[in-house]
Amino acid sequence: MKIGITCYPTYGGSGAVATELGLALAERGHEIHFISYDQPFRLRGFRERVFFHEVEMDDYPLFEHPPYTLALAVALHDTARKHQLDVVHMHYAIPHAASAYLAKQMLAPERPLKIVTTLHGTDITLVGVHPSFHAITRFSILESDGLSAVSEYLRDETVRGFSVPKNRIDVIPNFIDTELWRPDREPCHRAKLAPGGEKIIMHVSNFRAVKRVSDAVEIFSRIVQKVPSRLVLVGDGPDRPRVLQRAVDLGVQDQVLFLGKHASVDELLSCADLFLLPSGSESFGLAALEAMACGAPVVASRVGGLPEVVDDGVTGFLFDIGAVDQMAEAGVRILTDEALHRSLAEAGRRVAKERYSVDVVVPLYEALYERVIGAR
């Protein structure tokens, strides 16, 4: 198949999954065309059967904001026409699915173009439900030829918020390459991250308010009183100044290492003894899955799709949003009980391989493409 993929290329779960999906599909013999305003951050180096098409936009004084939705529609149309794409796969409903609909209509006189849209989270739970976007989001979803959501939770939210028939949405979870995300990665950075031999507690996110990164600092400040440890923060975003200030206020700034955005998170997570994800909302929790694959037990919020990923008491522990005292107690228990840590780590690795590996999940997308294309 010839498949076009559009995603947000910046640091975040939807862009990461979309890019990894394209690369995995190319490995399986498909021709993949990424179409976006910038090269996806995980698209590095030459890959056979993988192409990138940059959406071109010129500044024009009449436009206060560049009309990206229209420029993307043109790029999708031109790429589909030139390369005879069978399907375009839109990751994140707004504005990508709307642009794909325009491209489909533009191409209709010549040949059909099928649209698959994957719903990732805030496109449904935050952006899409806003009155300014609700109608166009619902229209774009319903006009897609195939739909998928990354969790049962997100499918249910889409049905509830947009009156989309439940049987129209396939649940296809996020996935990872478990040969890349694994506990024994080399080189090992443990000596640099924790030069004193401390336990390594890690958090990875885009530092938005919904991630509640300050809660991770709160949890760490309680754990470090009982267990010599270091908190490694990976990622960046608008909450960074507030998080760093909270570390200062709690007197743990010397034990908190802020790494910013990092291209090789897999190398870092393989060093983690504990992973914290105290989010206020998670449609799936890709970072938790990556941690599990790397053998790091997870302490997280019982919210959204996280209970579908983290088996409470088996691969980690889940608590109510903001329950920093309970999360800290669980963290201390995990870090001081070697048998418990080993049990959680082994179970997390096993779940990642059995439920969320490339070989398990990517064929589900191939089946969706084939069904959509066959509907011609």
Residue 183 lies in a domain: no
Residues 139 and 10 in one domain: yes
294: Cβ contacts below 8 Å, ≥ 6 apart: 181, 182, 183, 185, 266, 269, 270, 272, 349
**CA-CA distance, 34 to 2, in Å (whole number)?**
11
**CA-CA distance, 356 to 373, in Å (whole number)?**
25
Residues 363 and 341 in one domain: no
Residue 116 lies in a domain: yes
Residue 224 lies in a domain: yes
Residues 157 and 243 in one domain: no
**CA-CA distance, 127 to 94, in Å (whole number)?**
8
3-state helix, strand, coil in the chain (%, to 5): 45, 20, 40
**CA-CA distance, 199 to 231, in Å (whole number)?**
9
Residue 24 lies in a domain: yes
175: Cβ contacts below 8 Å, ≥ 6 apart: 17, 20, 21, 356, 357, 358, 360, 361, 362
36: Cβ contacts below 8 Å, ≥ 6 apart: 6, 7, 8, 9, 52, 54, 55, 72
pLDDT at position 58:
74
Residues 195 and 148 in one domain: no
Number of helices (H), then strands (E), belonging to the chain: the values are 15, 13
CB atoms within 10 A of CB 188: 12
pLDDT at position 62:
67
Cα angle: 154, vertex 158, 161; to 5 degrees: 130
Residue 89's nearest CA partner among 30, 45, 163 is 30
Residues 124 and 208 in one domain: no
Show the low-confidence residues of the chain (pLDDT under 50). Answer: none
CB contact at 8 A, 317 and 301: no
Return the SS3 of 14.
Answer: helix
Residue 185 lies in a domain: no
**CATH code of the domain containing 144:** 3.40.50.2000
Whole-model pTM: value is 0.90
pLDDT at position 46:
80
**CA-CA distance, 34 to 323, in Å (whole number)?**
41
Residues 316 and 340 in one domain: yes
Please tell me whether the peptide bond between 187 and the residue prior to it is cis, using omega within 30 degrees of 0: yes
CA-based torsion, 279, 282, 286, 288: positive or negative: positive
Residues 55 and 123 in one domain: yes
Residues 100 and 218 in one domain: no
Residue 95 lies in a domain: yes
**CA-CA distance, 14 to 286, in Å (whole number)?**
9
Q: What is the pLDDT of residues 113-139, one digit of tens each?
A: 999 999 988 777 766 566 788 899 999
Residues 121 and 196 in one domain: no
Residues 161 and 55 in one domain: yes
**CA-CA distance, 50 to 42, in Å (whole number)?**
13
Distance of CA 207 to the CA centre of its chain: 13
Report the domain count for the chain.
2
- Which ranges in the chain belong to alpha helices (H)? 13-27, 68-83, 96-107, 122-125, 134-142, 152-162, 190-193, 213-223, 240-249, 265-269, 286-293, 306-309, 324-336, 338-356, 358-374
Residue 68 lies in a domain: yes
Residues 33 and 163 in one domain: yes
Q: What is the pLDDT of residues 4-16, one digit of tens each?
A: 999 988 756 788 8
Residues 23 and 150 in one domain: yes
Residue 182 lies in a domain: no
List the domain range (segments joined by +) for residue 271. 190-356
Q: Which residue has the tokens 């590095």?
A: 44
pLDDT at position 341:
98
